[in-house]
């Protein structure tokens, strides 16, 4: 599979990875006190993370030129767009488990660390498979097209936590208490160490993100198999996921048609990956950037215009349910009847 030749010294890998670790540490220190993160604080942090992500592209531009920088931006944009879908599902998970607002950032912080680790593994495995076995491009491409189609046509589905293999396994192995104990993941009850409901919610977030990681990494690998570019595009997009959640959590119903745009992006990435192993070859990066930017812009604009027109009737009626992963009327069930999503295509709460 043809791709950019970008020899990256080991010290650059180390410097970038350490830099990401430092940024995570700064974020942890800045939010060491449990408090409800307001829109203004989240917007400021989100702007900082976006500026860092875009700034890294400028560093690549000065270091390696326009083609490398454009490739990074294409990967960053598609990962950033897909991360919005994560926000919708995280909101549902928090609602299902009735996670107090003040503790949500702690779950997201450790969730992001898990997300980065999972993506790093998937990136190296996926890139190696694409380089060694040409036919995996058809396999990954078909998976992305199927995922995009499923996202576009999926209906509301009831999701049961007891069917979530990872959550079920954790509950079987680790003694759990169906209550919150402050911001603790573990506590002692009658001298016995048990996991709290906060830990179960963290496991549900991590289990859900594993599916997102497969989709996201495959989509960026459709743009480039250069592991450094795929890793940095994923990492800088995921770093801002927590702040993005607190910015958008209260605006979910405004993005009623975004999932159609994400479906188009996944399908486009799948087609692009398959074409890379045909006489057509890799599609030009400027075309890829244009398709990604146009799709995101149109789907967001379509959502905002449509929901604004529906405001009069929906507000009086208590709001519509929207479609896909968006606009769901979220109701917090009792702890004994919690529901948690198991994959990108099962994100709706029970009716």
The pLDDT confidence band at residue 69, using thresholds 50, 70 and 90, is very high
Evaluate whether 329 touches 321 at the Cβ level (below 8 Å).
yes
Range name among 6-20, 76-90, 308-322 with the lowest pLDDT average: 308-322
Range name among 14-28, 141-155, 313-327 with the lowest pLDDT average: 313-327
Distance CA 281, CA 83 (A): 28
* DSSP-derived secondary structure letter, 179: S
Q: At 132, which helix (H) or strand (E)?
A: helix 101-132
Angstrom CA distances, 212 to 82, 206, 241, stand at 8, 10, 13
Query: Helices 101-132 and 227-239: crossing angle, nearest 10°?
Result: 170
Percent of the chain with pLDDT over 90: 18
Residues 207-265 pLDDT 10s: 878 877 888 888 899 888 899 999 999 999 988 888 888 888 767 667 778 888 888 98
The CA-based dihedral angle spanning residues 47, 322, 328, 256, taken in that order and rounded to the nearest 10 degrees: -10
Distance CA 20, CA 34 (A): 23
**Per-chain mean pLDDT for the chain:** 79
Distance CA 158, CA 211 (A): 18
Whether residue 328 is predicted with pLDDT greater than 70 in this model: the reply is: no
Residue 189, SS3 per DSSP: strand
Whether residue 327 is predicted with pLDDT greater than 80 in this model: the reply is: no
Q: Of the segments 27-31, 194-198, 320-324, which one has the largest average pLDDT value? A: 194-198
| pTM check: above 0.85 | no
Distance CA 118, CA 210 (A): 7
211, 209, 205, 202: which is closest to 176 by C-alpha? Answer: 202
Range name among 22-36, 132-146, 286-300 with the lowest pLDDT average: 22-36
* 2/276: higher pLDDT: 276
Q: What is the pLDDT of residue 55?
A: 96
Distance CA 220, CA 216 (A): 6
Q: What is the pLDDT of residue 250?
A: 66
Distance CA 33, CA 344 (A): 32
Residues 289-324 pLDDT 10s: 888 889 888 988 888 888 777 765 554 554 444 333
């Amino acid at each position: 599979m043809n791709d950019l030749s970008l020899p990256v010294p080991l010290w650059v890998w180390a410097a970038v990875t350490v830099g990401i670790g430092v940024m995570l540490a700064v974020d942890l220190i800045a939010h060491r006190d449990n408090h409800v993160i307001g829109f203004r604080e989240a917007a400021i942090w989100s702007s900082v993370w976006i500026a860092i992500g875009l700034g890294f592209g400028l560093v690549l531009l000065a270091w390696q030129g326009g083609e490398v920088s454009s490739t990074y931006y294409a990967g960053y944009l598609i990962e950033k767009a897909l991360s919005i879908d994560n926000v919708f599902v995280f909101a549902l998970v928090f609602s299902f488990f009735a996670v107090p607002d003040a503790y949500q950032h702690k779950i997201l912080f450790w969730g992001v660390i898990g997300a980065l680790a999972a993506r790093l593994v998937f990136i190296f495995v996926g890139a190696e498979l694409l380089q060694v076995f040409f036919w995996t491009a058809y396999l990954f491409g078909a998976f992305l097209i199927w995922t995009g189609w499923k996202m576009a046509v999926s209906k509301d589905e009831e999701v049961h936590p007891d069917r979530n293999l990872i959550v079920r396994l954790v509950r079987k192995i680790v003694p759990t208490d169906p209550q919150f104990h402050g911001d603790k993941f573990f506590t002692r009850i009658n001298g016995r160490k048990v996991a709290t409901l906060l830990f179960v919610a963290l496991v549900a977030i991590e289990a859900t993100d594993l599916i997102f990681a497969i989709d996201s990494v495959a989509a960026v690998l459709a743009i480039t198999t250069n592991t450094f570019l795929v890793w940095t595009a994923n990492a800088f997009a995921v770093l801002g996921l927590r702040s993005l959640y607190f910015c958008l959590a209260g605006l979910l119903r405004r993005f009623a048609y975004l999932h159609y745009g994400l479906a188009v992006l996944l399908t486009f990435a799948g087609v692009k990956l398959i074409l890379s192993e045909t006489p057509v070859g890799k599609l030009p990066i400027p075309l890829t950037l244009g398709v990604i930017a146009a799709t995101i812009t149109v789907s967001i604009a379509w959502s905002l215009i449509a929901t604004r027109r529906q405001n009069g009737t929906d507000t009086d009626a208590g709001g519509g349910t929207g479609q896909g992963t968006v606009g769901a009327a979220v109701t917090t069930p009792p702890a004994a009847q919690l529901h948690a999503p198991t994959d990108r295509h099962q994100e709706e709460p029970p009716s």
